[in-house]
Chain A
Amino acid sequence: AQSVSQHNHHVILSEAASLELGCNYSYGGTVNLFWYVQYPGQHLQLLLKYFSGDPLVKGIKGFEAEFIKSKFSFNLRKPSVQWSDTAEYFCAVNFPRGGADGLTFGKGTHLIIQP
């Protein structure tokens, strides 16, 4: 079955630490990949996306992600986190479907940055 897995459900880091959040999906064909972020009390918003081309994509607020097709992975990274990065991070995949654009999401990673 098509699924999305996020390995870390809770991550606690200090400011200036480096971040990497894992995401894997199960599907052998072409997909579009996304990371969404949900800051406390706010709506889900797009952090970055991969459709095709350069497998290293850059998003907002210094985040980047690398698509490794052979590993079915799309890990999120940031070299130096800030307290304001405290949020819930969701990996999502657009598996081919007959309808529109319904995304399949991972369970999310709750990231806490300690000052």
Chain B
Amino acid sequence: ETGVTQTPRHLVMGMTNKKSLKCEQHLGHNAMYWYKQSAKKPLELMFVYNFKEQTENNSVPSRFSPECPNSSHLFLHLHTLQPEDSALYLCASSHGRGTGELFFGEGSRLTVL
């Protein structure tokens, strides 16, 4: 139990589908993050939310659309993805005080056919 829960754990979708990944944190944190973990590449920071406001978007294609309705929930809406988007998508949370200590979920393994 990590305190950060991601669903679904596995997702297979076609390039024309629309799906969403969900993340929920039970740690009372103020900041939430989406990372992409691909084989042989460093974890890539995609989006940062602090107190529900997006503070960082690292040039992520618009086919990935994040949503943060409150400090405990974070979504990643997916549409018209490409096979190269197949990866493990990790959600993390933190106090947001600038220390850098993140708490990660177990990830959602996405396969795009």
Question: How far, in angstroms, from A108 to B38 measured CA to CA in the complex?
Answer: 11
Q: Which of A24-53 contact B (CB under 8 A)?
A: 32, 34, 36, 42-46, 49, 51
- Is the CB–CB distance between A102 and B45 below 8 Å? yes
Interface flag for A63 (CB, 8 Å) = no
Question: How far, in angstroms, from A92 to B94 measured CA to CA in the complex?
Answer: 15
Stretch at the interface among A13-21, A79-87, A93-101: A93-101
Task: Tell me the smallest distance from the CB of A53 to a CB of chain B, in Å.
Answer: 14
Helix, strand, loop or mixed for chain B's interface? loop
Cβ-defined partner of A4 (8 Å) among B42, B98, B103, B105: B42
- Is the CB–CB distance between A34 and B101 below 8 Å? yes
Residue of B nearest to A98 (CB): B55
Task: Tell me the smallest distance from the CB of A69 to a CB of chain B, in Å.
Answer: 17
Interface flag for A72 (CB, 8 Å) = no
- Residue tally, chain B, CB below 8 Å to A: 31
Q: Which residues of B contact A97 (CB under 8 A)?
A: 56
Residue of A nearest to B55 (CB): A99
Interface flag for B48 (CB, 8 Å) = yes
Task: Tell me the smallest distance from the CB of B44 to a CB of chain A, in Å.
Answer: 8
Cβ-defined partner of A94 (8 Å) among B56, B99, B103: B99
Residue of A nearest to B53 (CB): A99
A-B contact pairs, 30 of them (CB 8 A): A4-B42, A32-B101, A34-B101, A43-B2, A43-B4, A43-B104, A43-B105, A43-B107, A44-B90, A46-B101, A46-B102, A49-B100, A92-B100, A97-B56, A99-B48, A99-B50, A100-B31, A100-B48, A100-B49, A100-B56, A101-B31, A101-B97, A101-B100, A102-B45, A102-B48, A102-B56, A103-B45, A104-B45, A105-B42, A105-B43
Top 8 nearest A-B pairs (CB, nearest first) are: A94-B100, A99-B55, A100-B31, A44-B104, A105-B43, A100-B50, A43-B106, A100-B96
